[in-house]
Amino acid sequence: MLIRIKSKGNYKKIKRELKIKKDIDVTPILDKYGRIGVKRLADATPVRTGKTRDSWDYKITQSKREKKLVFFNTNRDEDCTVSVAILLIHGHISLEGTWIEGHDFVTGVIEEICSELKQEI
Q: Give the model confidence (pLDDT) of 46-99 as tens digits.
A: 888 889 999 999 999 998 878 899 999 999 877 778 888 998 999 988 889 999
Average pLDDT over residues 12-40: 78
Beta strands 99-100 and 92-93, pairing class: antiparallel
Q: Residue 68 and residue 121: Cα distance in Å, rounded?
A: 13
- Cα dist from 44 to 29, 50, 56, 71, whole Å: 22, 12, 11, 14
Domain ranges of the chain: 12-120
- Cα dist from 106 to 13, 39, 119, whole Å: 42, 12, 20
